[in-house]
Structure 1
Amino acid sequence: MERVICTCFVVCGLLSIVQGGSLIISEKFMNGDVLFLWNGDIAQEYDIQITMDKTLSDWDRQTVTQYTVEDALLYDSIGIDVRLPGDSSNNKMTYSVSKVESYVGDSVNISWTAPFFPRAGAYTVYHTGNVNRSIIVVTSSGATFDQTKYEYQSRPFDSTKIGFNIRDISRTDAGYYNGGLSPEAAWSGGGVVLIVHDTPSKPKIQGNLNIMVDSYSNLTCSSFSNTAPEYYARLHPLSYTWYVNNTKLSETRETLMLRVFRDHKYNHYSCTAKAKLESDRSDPVIINPMYTPDKLTILPEPLLNSDDKLAVKEGETIGPYTCTADCNPPCDITWKYKDSTSGGFFDVASTGSLDSQIVNRSIGVYRCISKFLPDSSFKKIESIRLDVLCRPMFDYMDEFKTRYGCKSGDSMYVPVSVPIIANPPPKESDITWSGPTGQLAICSNVLQQNVIYKHLVKSFIPIKDRNFFGNYTLKYERESLITVTISAEELRINKSDLTEINNGGLIGLEGTVVVKVPIISDSLPLTSHITWLNPNGLMISDKSIVLQQTDGLYNYLITSILPVSGAKQFGNYRMLYDGNLITTIIIKEKDINMSPSAVLRKGNNSLSTMGLLISTILLSVLGTVFLGINIYHLYSRRKQANRKHDENSIGTAFYATQPNEQTYRNENKTEEHIYSAIDLQQE
């Protein structure tokens, strides 16, 4: 339906000569502002006072001949009073602001009163909008205009009451209308401002829709006014109406600020903008409240024991489990397990679903890990701690000594620490040891190691006499776990006795040295386990070794005849037993050429007079009985003969001789020394 705005008649002083004053004041309407101008000297100071409606401004002294009042459409009338300094005469003018409002598509009547109508020539009506243009030309006999758009209504044509109609209003018709004899009249006072209203643009809601819970979201309803002219629209900002789920809110500002909660994700927000007319409603938006999970949920819920652990036997399976978290955006959920041995965590599932898992003793924890992608520092963890049950067994992964050496006696014990895998920890009362003498009446201690299923069983095994040497088996609830061997302690040097180095030439064995080494051993040494290394580190194969027991149950004497020929054979000689170093002696050139006065050395190679006595006795006996008979055969065959080492029981002399060898014995009241002549064939 067409709406028509009634004609607005404006009567105002276009040109005023102030009563009693000398200034002539005129006005212009320029893009929403009113410009007052007066004649005068631009170097002259003037006192100016403005009246806007009924509000008076303070006097303002300026050196100007014009004054601009901005945003004139805010007022119905604007007055000015200009005085010369010291002169109380008033020079006043009042500008009446005439406005006509219409809507797009309507028709409107525009009218004002001109100060005069020209007797000759034409009166032109001007429209100043985006451009300045003439729309109607009136003479005393008629009017020229676009009849589809305008209709000139004043009669007679030369009437000073100017009136016309504008059809089918659009926003381009908005602006300032005035008339006169020249184009400058388009801006002169006394015209009418046509205001055209249209609906504001459809709003768009802008703002951060993805926002953390407990933060504040600012949503802006963005629209622009379609009211014209622009200098009117900017003085009348839009008002806004906000809706949540079609329910009107009290907020009328452009920006809606609200604190975000989790349930905001169910809300739809929209808005409208309004000037004279209200816009269409915006498309709804949904706030996406982002939040981290309060907790993680594992289903089905694991059945935990009193220690808040899931008890499971080794080799059995657990799961499947599903780990979920209420977070937005969805959390990144993974599963890891902890290796109790290394202490490290390892991936087992890349989603929240954990398949059935076969459990072993090294798995201590299955861990569900939730990460919140917008916050890289956030992490939430829910764990299933395992109590993996396993029967006691020997831990082959740990280093363990299975052979032990020991002396025997009432106060002799061998400490044995056996690594055990068990969960729960083994009971000390169920641990037993059995050995060569049967089951031992001893107690063992169980110590927890670095992981829950690793233990150390510490026991002290008594070795009362030689019958206790042998194999010992650790049992748990009568089940054998591991066996260890306890042997007599390896032989060692008897530091309370002498080590002798004798010239073999004194007994007819030229180029040899006779070495006698006292040792202690809880078990019977074997001559086949004795080796000698020459100064070059090479094993001596052309040697003879004799073993005999001396005073004391564990005391023995090892007598060795070593070939020494040439300067390269002098130096350090090492005796080994089962590859282990027993002692090192130094053989020098003088030991081959020494006289009977220097034949004995202590372990530190010091000389002893006891060696002189023994060597003298040996020399006389051997020289008297056999030296003349066998000296020739010794030098001709000793390099080719095979050597054999016979081993006899304790208390008997042991010989390393070929079959049919002659054995020489020399006895005194202090020691018994047994030698063997190598490669002497009996005649």
Structure 2
Amino acid sequence: MVIILKCLMIKLRWLYLVLARTLFFVHGQKFEIWTEFLNGDVTFKWTNVSSLRNDILITKDSHSADWVKTNEDHYTVEDVLKYKSVTIEVREYNCMDFSKCYVEHKKTYNVIIVEAKEGESRNISWTADYFPENDFYRIFHYTHNGSRTRILKITKDKAKSAEKYVYHTRPLKSVNILFEVKNITVEDAGYYVGGVTRNDDDGGVILVVHGKPMRPTIKGQLTIRVGNKAFLECISRSTSTPCYYKMFPPLSYSWYINNTRIEGENWETYYFSVSKDVKYNNYSCRVKETVESERSDEVRINPLYGPEKVIISPQPPMNILKIREGDKFGPYNCSADCNPPCTFQWFNKIPSGKYEATYQSDSSHVLPEQTSNRSRTLFYCVAYWSEDSGNTYSNLTIDIQYLSEPIVYINGVTEKYSNIPQNVSLTLSCFTDGNPIPTVTISRGTRNQILGKVLNNWLNYTFPRKAQCTDSNIYRCEGRSKQYPTKVATFSINIPCKPRLDNRVEFKSTVYIRDLPNSVSVNVPIISNPKPMLITWNGPLPNLAIRTTISQRNEVYQHWVSSTIPIHNESFLGNYTVFGEGIELATIEITEIEPDLGSTPSQWILWIIVEVFAGLFVLLTIISIICKATCKFGSGTSVTSKGCHDVYDVTLGTQEGRGDLQNEYQYLTVTELGQFNTGRKSVDNKNNKSDPSNHYENSGKMTSGSTRPFVPTI
């Protein structure tokens, strides 16, 4: 009985081992751990050879957690960039006795961060586990949005670098991987890793790019009454990448008044009390992370305040001016400090005892010397402020009719000379202050082409199309009033453009000449602003001695390119292309006119000689063909007759449809003793092979110094 029980126990133990091996192992598999990095998190993955659970231990830098039981085949560590390294230990169990039957596997992920600024270059390096002998080693870039791009592929014999990436490792099969990322932008930030297969994870270098913060803008209420507080906010954001890198420094702020930094103001919001004087201040801000941003556009506070008093100077005694009719008075100035500008109303007392309004002006004005009028017995000036229903006045009234100098605005900017790029909207504004209201005119050029005319202080003229260099000219802004001489402001607009042919001017692209040598003078009409400094020609021959001058036509953008082209012989004939500043302008064909053979007796004689030569050529060609045919059919095969050989050496095929005599005589070459040789290979049509004994290799080459259509010598 004991023996039976022992045997049963042995069988049960054997069965247990077999079942354990069957349940817990896959024969031939190898336990392996690899890593995958994505958006700042690293995931450890492994192959579960056993179906039993695993225990894992995570160590972040030198701090270890407790062992954790898991049935998964992966574990993710978030925000791994906070650590220098993360290590995972996995216990692989291969039997039910968890205290004994396990193997520990370890994998460490080292966090390597390379930091750079935009425009710099950085080397990225790591040590590979191995370099393949017969395969590619690949380097990948994972961008901050998760997309993957292969940037380099290296073998032990070849590494092809790109403009952006340069592979520096030597020898190529070294496991010390080193490559350079050049001219770094924020798009180059991310994760760089290398390997041979999907599970290879050599490297793991994070490139952090410190970008320049976005150029800030200032927001806030800019029009504020004096005594209230102004709040300005500097708005910007970081452009540094990758976004999962959490250690970028916070944005810091700097505030400026009239380009001078305000000490102690380092916050996003700047607030201050508004006074009259702030209207002279320009406010701007700048943002800094690692790199400092550009300065924001300047803003100006518009303080609102009304007039405290109206000033008339010089002040007459008792504020009453007593004058006789026809006497002169003035000048007087009526002014008040207010914003927005006050409007002034001048009043005079009429004989009925009432006051009538006579004149309205801007925030300040000078009344010039005036001739008195009996209908005007009392004057006073009233200042009105639009932000308040009240008004302020002083008891002197000045009624002035005036016409001020025109003020010109080019696209909203006051200037008398403006450089404007092409293809932008162009608006000209002319402001002429006057009383009565003047007639304002904008005209163009020396001929005063009128673009706009209006009875108003303001005239705005917008060009119907985008600005072109043909709009470059001198413009006039005129203000006209019957009481005053015309006021004129002259201003210039310059719109640069690249050289091009002026298609509005007739230009002949073909030039005929009769006698050689000769020279050709050409005038090419072009449009260019400014005048091109470099004019070059390309022609049939290099190093052409072409003389060129550039002269202005009617307008600043219109020019003549005047060139003299020497034509010494026939090799100088052909197409000539002119370039301005490297830009092709026009192509001119220079060709020779054939002589008129019927013009003179000498030309008639030349024509007769040419005809005789042509006839002899045709006759000799027919004789050659007959002789050739005789040699061909005399034997019935492709042979060379001795008698014929004294005249030519050529073999014709005998198959039907082959040996086109006309095509056989492409050209002839002059040889010794007046013999003729064709410039084609003779072909044995029967065997479809070249017969080296019955032809000359003359095709495309010169014989006796020249190769040309044969003309017999008389």
> With structure 2 as the length reference, what TM-score do the two structures score?
0.38
Max radius of gyration: which structure?
A: 1
The structure whose residues are more often strand, as a share, is 1
Greater relative contact order (CA < 8 Å, ≥ 6 in sequence): 1
> With structure 1 as the length reference, what TM-score do the two structures score?
0.39
